[in-house]
Structure 1
Amino acid sequence: MIYRFRVILDNDTDDDVFRDLEIKETDTMEDLHNIITQSFGFDGTEVASFYLSDDAWNQGEEISLFDMSEGANEVKLMSETTLNNTVHEAQTKLIYVYDFLSMWTFYVELAEIAEENEGVDYPNLMFVQGQVPEAAPEKIFEAEKDEFDSEFDDDFDVNDYDNLDFDEHWN
């Protein structure tokens, strides 16, 4: 079987930037990572992760390109995870983040499961819409209004050493 995905760049412009891809259901998440990076013009050398997502695009379990946990906890790797063990009719949405410094963020959705077409090489880039911007769209992470206001005194001056409440001869 073939999975057909629509991969949409999360950007704050009016321009739609997406790619429609086909890939075998038995390919790995790393294969999906490779066709996404190639189809959007990235070199594929940056750290990346997929995240399972619900219908509201909330980020869930991570599937990472590399194990950077230093053995602290078990990491699900793209190279060891097949598409059909991750994505199916009940789990159709993924969030894909490429280059954790720039935070290129994509919404990946399984659009269709189809029969393999004889003579077609997979993975296959089916359709291209829009140009990728020069730089990743800027992400604004906002805390809930007044979430931190009650925790900190606005009159606090970190340079006012005389009034800091600590014993400088503690040791």
Structure 2
Amino acid sequence: MVYKFRVILDTEEDIFRDIAILEEDNLEDLHNAIVNAFDFDGTELASFYTCDNQWNQNEEIPLFDTGDVAGEMKTMADYPLTSILDKENTKIIYVYDFLNMWTFLVELAAIEEVESGETYPSTLFSHGMMPMDAGDKSFEADMTNDIYGEFEDDLDDDDLDMFNDEEGGEHYEDYGFEDNWN
């Protein structure tokens, strides 16, 4: 059987690739197919994350064993696609390059018969151009529940100058700290 995935870059623009891969392949094979479909160089670390139907992240499945004891942690190569994804469990999250955090929503769209003469894995469809960078993930605080906001107006510029002293913290002596306390 062939698993057909839609791999969507988590951005505001519509950028996705449809990938077909054999069901007996593993998550490392899917990782390689995604790297090729999105024209990454493949030199960065990556992980898959299991998730629920609302894309809430659960268990990490890394490309390499990063555990304290070699062989203790299961990696992408240890997970056949069929062990994680099926008709009921169709979603998984993929993150490539942990410095840039390219994040993808990967969804199993179909399970079909192998087509004779086809080579797998393959990119079936490509939509959208990759941006130059992954973009910033926005983790904005909910300002309606900002517990610090009520105190911001209580500090005047003289209070803040105490912490921004150019002479190297002589005001800290008033609080029992030495210049080199750590």
TM-score in terms of structure 1 length: 0.85
Larger Rg: 2
Distance 1:100 1:25, change over 3 A: same
SS at match of 1:34: helix
Q: Which residue of structure 2 aligns with residue 149 of structure 1?
A: 148
- Correspondence for 2:5: 5
Name the TM-score, length of structure 2 as normaliser: 0.80
Are 1:164 and 2:175 counterparts? yes
Partner residue in 1 for 2:57: 59
1:110-147 per-position Cα deviation (integer Å, ceiling 9, x unaligned): 00111111111111110000100111121122345446
Alignment deviations for residues 27-51 of structure 1 (CA, whole Å, 9 cap, x no partner): 0100000010110010111000000
The CA distance in 2 between the partners of 1:43 and 1:30, in whole Å, is: 15
Contact preservation (8 Å) 2:49, 2:61: yes
5 Å-filtered alignment, 1:62-101, equals 62-71=60-69, 74-101=72-99
In the TM superposition, residue 108 of structure 1 has moved relative to its aligned partner by: 0.2
Q: 1:22 aligns with which of 4, 20, 23?
A: 20
Which is richer in helix? 2
Distance in 2 (alpha carbons) for counterparts of 1:165 and 1:109? 57
Distance 1:30 1:73, change over 3 A: closer
Instruction: For 1:161, give the aligned amino acid.
Output: Y
The verdict on how the C-alpha distance between 1:11 and 1:168 changes in structure 2, with shifts beyond 3 A counting, is: same
**Inter-partner Cα distance in structure 2 for 1:81 and 1:129:** 28
- Give the AA of the match of 1:84: T
What letter is aligned with 2:43? T
Letter in 1 for 2:173: D
Output the aligned Cα RMSD.
Answer: 2.7
Q: Distance in 1 between matches of 2:116 and 2:39?
A: 27
* Residue ranges of structure 2 left out of the alignment (5+ in a row): 164-168
CA contact (8 A) 2:48 2:62 kept: yes
The one-letter code sitting in structure 1 at the alignment partner of 2:131 is P
**Comparing 63-72 and 111-120, the one that deviates more:** 63-72
Among 101, 107, 110, the residue aligned to 1:109: 107
Per the alignment, residue 44 of structure 1 pairs with: 42
> What is the percentage of aligned positions where both structures have the same residue?
48
1:114–1:131 CA distance, 2 compared to 1 (3 A): same
Give, in angstroms, the shift of residue 167 of structure 1.
7.6
Contact 1:7–1:20, Cα closer than 8 Å, also in 2? yes
Residue 166 (structure 2) aligns with? none
